[in-house]
Amino acid sequence: MPFENVLCNPEWWKSFFAKDRFSYDEIPDLSGKVCIVTGGTGGLGYATVVALAAHGAHVFLACRNRVKAEEAIERAQTDILQLQFDFPNATYPPQKGSEQPYEKSYSGVAGGPKLEFLELDLADMNKAHFAAKDFLSRGLPLHILVNSAGIMMEEHDMSADGYEHHFAINHLGHFVFTNALLNRMRESQPARIVIMSSMAHEIPPSDKPIDFPHLRTSPPVQNEVLLYAQSRVANVLYARALARRLRHDQIYVNVVHPGCTDLQVQKKIRASDSRCFKHFSKLWLRIAYPVRRGALTALFLATSAKVEEEGGGKGIRGRYFTPIAYQLTPNPVTDDVDLQERLWAYSEKAAQGNSKI
């Protein structure tokens, strides 16, 4: 049964009704940190960008659309100025009485939040690799990578490389981009990688969590819910395989279900022709998370000192987190190291050598 692992898991219900384990007050000063957030133009990615930049980090919005990204940067500058009471420990805007002037800037040279655009199209592995090279050529360190971009239950399409587009954008593009940045993260450690997944990773059948033979089949043999869910299993498998490869480094890789957010529900209501779905979704909207709250679990993993301190200094690695900052056991199929490695080998071959680590 889909979601059996969730519905029959008392830990999940406990986390659903429990108090939040992280808040905006707990985000530390991030001055000197360089971050990349994929998909920073809207939704959770944008909320993450605002929080990181307000706390002093230099943040790159890795997005496919320059115009949207520049609008998001402009909006973020304004939001950071207006949201001062939501971020009690923020660097920007400067506290009252501070001598530091607040000025808008795209690069932070003038003393404002440091926000920049990095062109990234995850639907094309060559472009994903090029985006990483573009970042590397700037000679900056990289401390925090949040892979927030993604698509969710969209109509069938194929990527530039001929893969089913949920799998391509949610997994393959990020696989190439992230792996190409790893050496820079090693040089910059301690560092964090946060990989977005979803509770939907619980849906695929345990005997075929990833339908390898049909990842390039068009039209697909599965519906868009299963295709989305499959891409989210891939995210958990990749996060666990990557965390294992980085176990001797101070690079903490973890994976997140952010919770169902109001903006995403509204987007699906707008896109749907079904009256039944629209009615059901209005109820859904009542329990959905406001986006800023939804971003908190990824922000916990990206910024909290606890991530490095836990386990007597071993840190939190390769774990699955749900709202707000609860560690849960993911779908048991993701424990399968052979499956993790099969996905890794498949992705590496698909990337045609673009992603060697």
Ligand X SMILES: NC(=O)c1ccc[n+]([C@@H]2O[C@H](COP(=O)([O-])OP(=O)(O)OC[C@H]3O[C@@H](n4cnc5c(N)ncnc54)[C@H](OP(=O)(O)O)[C@@H]3O)[C@@H](O)[C@H]2O)c1
Residue 30 or 151 having the CB closest to ligand X: 151
Strand order in the sheet with 144-147: 114-119, 58-63, 34-38, 144-147, 191-196, 251-256, 320-322, 326-328
Report, in Å, the least distance between residue 127 CB and ligand X: 8
Q: Which of 148, 179, 230, 354 binds ligand X (CB under 6 A)?
A: 148
- Select from 61-69, 102-110, 311-319, 328-336 the region that touches ligand X (CB under 6 A): 61-69
- Select from 39-47, 100-108, 302-310, 315-323 the region that touches ligand X (CB under 6 A): 39-47
39 belongs to the binding site for ligand X (CB under 6 A): yes
Angle between helices 337-350 and 224-245 (to 10 degrees): 100
Is cis: bond before 332, omega within 30 of 0?
no
Report, in Å, the least distance between residue 7 CB and ligand X: 17
Structure tokens at 216: 């390039």
93 belongs to the binding site for ligand X (CB under 6 A): no
Q: Is 84 left (phi over 0), alpha (psi -120 to 50) or beta?
A: alpha
45 belongs to the binding site for ligand X (CB under 6 A): yes
Report, in Å, the least distance between residue 117 CB and ligand X: 12
64 belongs to the binding site for ligand X (CB under 6 A): yes
Q: Which of 33, 34, 35, 43 binds ligand X (CB under 6 A)?
A: 43
Bridge partners for 97 per DSSP: none
Active site residues: 228
Residue 133 burial (CB count, 10 A): 11
Report, in Å, the least distance between residue 247 CB and ligand X: 26
- Select from 34-42, 92-100, 178-186, 345-353 the region that touches ligand X (CB under 6 A): 34-42
CA nearest neighbour of 236 among 162, 149, 151, 321: 321
Q: Which of 116, 121, 164, 211 binds ligand X (CB under 6 A)?
A: 121
Structure tokens at 150: 């993604």
Cα gap 333→204, rounded to integer Å: 10
Q: How far is CA 17 from the centre of its chain?
A: 24
Contacting ligand X within 249-278 (CB under 6 A): 257-258, 260-261, 263-264
**One-letter amino acid for residue 224 of the chain:** E
Which residues contact ligand X (rule: CB under 6 A)?
A: 39, 41-45, 63-65, 68, 120-123, 148-152, 169, 196, 198, 257-258, 260-261, 263-264, 294
